[in-house]
Amino acid sequence: MAIDLKLLEKRLAEYKVYDAWQYVQSLRETLGYMNISYEILLNVYEHRCNTIEKVENNIIEVALKEGQSSFGENDLKQTDLNIGGFEIDDSIFLRKTAIEFFHYARISMDILFQIVNAALLGDKSYPVSDKGLLKKVLKELKNKPEFANLLNLLNTNKGNPNYGYLLAFDNYIKHIKTILITIKNSFLLGKSKEFTINEFYYDGILYQKENVIDKIQEIKDYVIKTIEDILLEVLKQIPNCLDNSHRIHSIKFKQVNKNTEKGSELEYITFFIEVENDLSELPNEIKVLPLIIKPNDEIYSFDFKFDKIFIKKKGESGLSIIGCAVLKNGLETNEFYRIFEVRPCGIKEYFDYISAFKTKYTKITMNIYAMEGSMIFIS
């Protein structure tokens, strides 16, 4: 992709919508699968045509030399493929690869809308499983003048014939039946060849017969161009995200280790959010993802699997506890940002947490590069 993905990742981190980065990574992967399907399709079809021509020429050469020639099933199977020791009819493989191309292209477009949803709506974004996602995202974007150009790009795409064909093809395959892809090559008599997607109806619309290679090239160019145009506009608009006010990246830690004869052993780790004056500076519910952007623009984050974060005034010691944030959405979730409820608490709750630490957290996984903090060693 032409877009600077490193810059995109940094912007998502800076404006606390880093959960969109997982969709960017998925998009890059599915586009890779789409491109591989395209390249394989071209190469296998070229191999088929070249092999048939070679077999024909060999038969004709023998006939001219010896006055007669014959061919059998083995000659017709010369185009078959050997994949890891598995023999497969190349026409079946071509049909399979063509269907996979369209599916990966469709998934790529769907993921693109997830990026828009997560990066620009932030805390107002819709669940990934929402079937009306595109329509709802477009409605939200209308409310902010800065998104006018992006809105135009998305609306234009909705009316693009290639987008309509892509949706219809993939939906037809998933919900109705396989679209017949015809592969024919004349053998010895004539030079005709056919590799086409037959016509099909979907949602009351007739989609005409298409040459597979031409249509896939057209769809590939459309997908890549559309994704690049929309991602470039998303990059510009990240600072205008609708709402990221509940998100916290800055978490500090204090790690205490005890020196023993066997070496250093972890006693406990406590985590802190700092405020200027009091708890009113935080919403009642916060979304937490420890994250730091290093001076070299490297980004470090980690999945925060601890259930309590203490809140203190900036610049004061760890004993000046004025509140805590308690995990709300559990540990078994795919969400990047863990949801915590903010409430008042005092020093007793802090000491209770420390005393129960070794029992509660038997396995510790932590990326300290994603937080600022201190390590203390005691005898």
Q: What is the mean pLDDT of each run of 10 residues along the chain (379 residues)?
A: 89 96 96 96 87 68 54 59 79 92 96 96 89 88 94 93 95 81 65 84 92 96 96 97 94 89 83 93 94 93 90 81 88 75 94 91 80 85
Q: How far apart are CA 192 and CA 301, in angstroms?
A: 58
What is the residue whose two structure tokens read 């060693």? 377
Q: How far apart are CA 191 and CA 264, in angstroms?
A: 78
Close Cβ partners of 202 (under 8 Å, ≥ 6 residues apart): 168, 169, 171, 172, 176
Instruction: Describe the strand order of the beta sheet including 252-260 as a list of residue ranges.
Output: 247-248, 285-288, 338-344, 321-327, 308-313, 263-275, 252-260, 372-378
**pLDDT reported for residue 369:** 83
* Token pair of 292 as six digits: 């730091």
Residue pair 2/228 in contact by the 8 Å Cβ criterion: yes
Residue 301: C-alpha distances to residues 18, 191, 246, 339 (Å) = 10, 60, 18, 16
CA nearest 286: which of 236, 341, 235, 358?
341
DSSP designation for 332: S
Q: How far apart are CA 209 and CA 198, in angstroms?
A: 5
Per-domain residue ranges for the chain? Answer: 5-240, 247-378
Please provide residue 164's backbone torsions phi and psi, each rounded to the nearest 5 degrees.
Answer: -60, -40
Residue pair 275/313 in contact by the 8 Å Cβ criterion: yes
Give the bridge partners for 83, in sequence order: 86
DSSP designation for 296: T
Q: How far apart are CA 205 and CA 164, in angstroms?
A: 10
Q: How far apart are CA 124 and CA 137, in angstroms?
A: 10
Q: How far apart are CA 23 and CA 10, in angstroms?
A: 14
Q: How far apart are CA 149 and CA 154, in angstroms?
A: 9
